[in-house]
Amino acid sequence: MSDRIRRLWLLGPLFGLLPALCHAADAADDRLLPLWTSNAPGETTAEPGTVLPFRENEIPPVTRVTNITRPALTAFPAAQPNGMAVLILPGGAFRRVVTDKEGSEIAHWLNQQGISAFVLRYRVEDREMPEPWKKPLQDAQRAISLIRSRAAEWNLQPDRIGVAGFSAGGQAAARLLCAGSERSYPTADSIDNVSARPDFGMLLYPWNLWDQKTDALLPELQIDRQCPPVFLVHTHDDRASSLSSVMFYARLRQLEVPAELHVYENGGHGYGLRPVPGSRINNWTAAAEPWLAARLATTPR
């Protein structure tokens, strides 16, 4: 445990933040499972990433990792697994990956529901890139295939494996849900022969699914009737407009794909599970828990 985390641990009871501090410590100590046995598609290096300095105004601290060329999973198996798993795609504007607030903290909540969780450190660079979603989508597809290929090892049901994406990770998750059986990279090995299609999806304040110029979903987000069930959360005052979630939901509704949408009046963006003063947004889990329970009980699409 770092000196900074130890100091914050001691201060935690003053702020009621001890659980979150534990999660921050978890994020620093996690063991990473590489997605590929060799370099990821198109990569010439295999860097686990650089942890950026903490921002002084954030208590508890938020961990951001950038310049990742070696994508990896961190497994959080449930103590009493119910057979369900969720791949978590944190946010970070496709330039960073927020490994605790939108990663390990979400995993611990899912574990409390008996759901095993896997936090994905997908590839990002600390600069503007064309098609910045492409590598995260490739990594997400590979991760779903890897988890499903090892389902027996983690006491999982291979037809109960979903995805949860936050902010930019929400856009990558939306693209994953729309990809169906089409893989976004050449087959590398036998793992890629296992389906990369999630059985359900959760989109939490997904970033930029909506094209303001056309007032429509991004054209590459082609939702069809085979899309898995989706749970969506947004806030009305999010600068990454809630129209992303609203329009995604509307298309699901048109196609009669099971879906549930929650738009809260305020709360902004990037909250994860953490409370926001003056907002009820941290209650979104109260709606998500029965929805997840229904996915366990329902025959996958």
Given this model, what pLDDT does residue 187 score? 94
Task: Judge whether residue 11 has pLDDT over 50.
Answer: no
- Pick the range with the lowest mean pLDDT from 2-16, 189-203, 273-287: 2-16
Each residue of 73-89: pLDDT tens digit? 999 999 999 999 999 99
Residue 227 pLDDT class (50, 70, 90 cuts): very high
CB burial of 126-143 (b: ≥16 within 10 Å; e: otherwise) equals: eeeeeebbbbbbbbbbbb
Q: What domains are defined for the chain?
A: 33-297 (3.40.50.1820)
Q: Which long-range contacts (CB under 8 A, 24 or more apart) does 181-187 make?
A: 183/141, 184/134, 184/137, 184/138, 184/141, 185/41, 185/138, 185/141, 185/142, 186/41
When pLDDT is averaged across residues 245-257 and rounded to a whole number, the result is 97
Query: What pTM was estimated for this model as a whole?
Result: 0.90
Task: Judge whether residue 235 has pLDDT over 90.
Answer: yes
Residue 179 pLDDT class (50, 70, 90 cuts): very high
For residue 190, the SS3 value is helix
Given this model, what pLDDT does residue 4 score? 45
Given this model, what pLDDT does residue 13 score? 40
Closest alpha carbon to 267 in 243, 297, 234, 240: 234
- Pick the range with the lowest mean pLDDT from 17-31, 33-47, 70-84, 100-114: 17-31
Residue 130 pLDDT class (50, 70, 90 cuts): confident
Residue 298 pLDDT class (50, 70, 90 cuts): confident
Average pLDDT of the chain is: 90
Number of neighbours of residue 4 by Cβ within 10 angstroms: 12
Tokens of 91: 């946010």
When pLDDT is averaged across residues 176-189 and rounded to a whole number, the result is 94
Which H/E stretch holds residue 288?
Answer: helix 284-297
Closest alpha carbon to 35 in 157, 171, 136: 136
Given this model, what pLDDT does residue 77 score? 97
The angle that helices 168-179 and 134-149 make with each other, rounded to 10 degrees, is 60
- Pick the range with the lowest mean pLDDT from 20-34, 61-75, 86-100, 222-236: 20-34
Each residue of 269-297: pLDDT tens digit? 999 999 999 999 999 999 999 999 999 99
Given this model, what pLDDT does residue 31 score? 78
Tokens of 238: 């999010």
